[in-house]
Structure 1
Amino acid sequence: MVVSSISLSCFSPCLYSKLNYLSGSNEPPRNSAISSFRNAVAAETETTSDDDGQIVGHLQRRPLLLGLGTLTATVLPANPLKAEEIPAKYREFVDFIDGYSYIYPQDWKDFDFRGHDSAFKDRYLQLQNVRVRFIPTQKKDIHDLGPMEEVVTNLVKHVYAAPNQRPTVYDMQERTVDGKNYYTFEYVLTSPNYSSASFATIGIGNGRYYTLIVGALERRWRRVRDKLKVVADSFKILDI
């Protein structure tokens, strides 16, 4: 991988192997993401205790319960980020080998997230993180998967949620950047012990189905929601 506007004192094995590949090593880059979504989801649904012990009131949102009500889609205009447009307190991650980029909070550190190609997390709050994975697909565009409401509902309910979690979708948006279409949606997974809130962005390109997920504990969501939405909206697929 090529990392732009970032300085790390150490790299995860995945990042290290790709950087060696770019510098001339004969060893091919590791592709840890060519695994099924369900194997990757197992890592996402591991339970953990509250990181900061602080309670924040639940957001006053109107949930779009899966299987209930009417889902409203919003089409957003293209707004590609350029290097000079990276917001303050964010850094850009660019992977020219696997064809994608996004920005993340500058104080986060990279780490290995099982079944994912790249990941960064808050230095102190384990569940506050962003991760990207991809799998091969014959589809050419995200629209080939079906209507956005149906695609998102099936993903959250049947792929992202564990059997002991109650999924809720709050919002769905579509945007187009450089001719590529993306779905970004907000959802909450409620477990007996804790709840997590996340944004996910999905897109198709390069014969791959990409997924970026950025999230935190729901009790912290009010504080970090806008900050993490910037990350979700920054995801772009690069031609390779």
Structure 2
Amino acid sequence: MAVSSLSLSWVSTTIYSKLNLPHYNDLSRAAISPLHSCNRITCSGEKASNGEGHCRRITLLLGVGALTGNLLRASSLFAEEIPENYRSFVDTEDGYSYYYPADWRDFDFRAHDSAFKDRYLQLQNVRVRFIPTDKKDIHDLGPMEEVVPDLVKYKLAAPNQVVTIFDMQEKNIDGKNYYTVEFQLTSPNFAVTSFATVAIANGRYYTQIVVANERRWRRVRNKLKVVADSFRVLDI
């Protein structure tokens, strides 16, 4: 469902008061703090010499038995071929995964669980965070047409930013429901365009943001759409 140049001044904040969500714009700066999750896997979409993709374990703090169990739960993710020039990030401890461009590097983004950015364009990045919730599914918050405008207007935008929503999509993958929105935030001096995907699982409200400078959006949109479409929540 496409929504162009949507005025959002009428939107209620009732849904988000139930979740006690903080304002996402307050989290717009990177901070020097370690990622707290301790069971993460990155896999490259580039092929090794033996024809198979290669995986790298990050910050391994689990015992052998726990590691085996978590890898078994993540094994289905590796069954799908990773797109060329992308890597797969899998956090079996916190219950989510996604692809990101292979030439991006990880960095610390304040109050987020994971983040990767372009080597040269810091505004071009992906990040994921989650907060506790007693909801079981994204549908428990309400229909997409209500939830998504509230999310963008009151949680992702600053008060001085003009919001334009280009598209909203709902999908169900392996029994999990997701809302995804493509939107633009325009400030007096600059504008950014983003994909945001939200889902609820494991007693957590997950949000993935994929963003780029508005001037580059046409060139990189399809590349970043792969990242947004790849976001999954896992059972933990």
Q: CA contact under 8 A between 1:81 and 1:234: conserved in structure 2?
A: no
TM-score with structure 1 setting the length: 0.70
**Residues 86-165 of structure 1 correspond to what in structure 2 (within 5 A)?**
86-165=82-161
Query: How many residue pairs get matched?
Result: 175
Residue 34 of structure 1 corresponds to which residue in structure 2? none
Q: Which shifted more, 121-130 or 165-174?
A: 165-174
CA separation of 1:23 and 1:218: change in aligned 2, threshold 3 A: farther
Does residue 180 (structure 1) correspond to residue 220 (structure 2)? The answer is no
Aligned partners of 2:40 and 2:215: how far apart in 1? 35
- The alpha-carbon deviation at position 22 of structure 1 amounts to 2.5
User: Any stretches of 5+ residues in structure 2 without a counterpart?
Assistant: 1-38, 45-57, 65-75
Instruction: Quote the offset at 1:215 in angstroms.
Output: 0.8
Alignment of 1:208-223 (within 5 A): 208-223=204-219
Q: CA deviation at 1:86?
A: 1.2
Q: Which residue, out of 31, 36, 40, partners 1:2?
A: 40
Name the counterpart of 1:47: none
Instruction: For residue 162 of structure 1, report the CA deviation from its aligned partner.
Output: 0.5
The counterpart of 1:194, out of the listed 173, 181, 190, is: 190
Residue-by-residue CA offset, 1:80-115 (whole Å, 9 max, x unaligned) = 965442110000000010000000000000000001
Q: Which moved more, 1:80-89 or 1:135-144?
A: 80-89
Give the distance between the partners of 1:196 and 1:190, measured in 2 at CA: 7
Describe the SS at the equivalent of 1:221. helix
In structure 2, the partner of 1:168 is 164
Distance 2:193 2:140 in 1: 27
| Cα distance in structure 1, aligned partners of 2:136 and 2:169 | 19
Taking only aligned residues, the RMSD between alpha carbons, in angstroms, comes to 1.8
Displacement over 6 Å in runs of 4+ = none
TM-score of the pair, normalised by structure 2: 0.71
Q: 1:21: which partner in 2? A: 61
Counterparts in 2 of 1:38-53, with a 5 A limit?
none
The alignment-based identity, stated in percent, is 70
Task: Tell me the secondary structure at the aligned position of residue 174 of structure 1.
Answer: strand
One-letter amino acid of the structure 2 residue matched with residue 215 of structure 1? V
SS at match of 1:152: helix
Residues 28-55 of structure 1 deviation map (CA, whole Å, 9 limit, x = unaligned): xxxxxxxxxxxxxxxxxxxxxxxxxxxx
Q: Which structure 1 residue ranges, 5 or more long, are not aligned?
A: 7-17, 25-79
Q: Is the 8 A contact 1:101 1:237 kept in 2?
A: yes
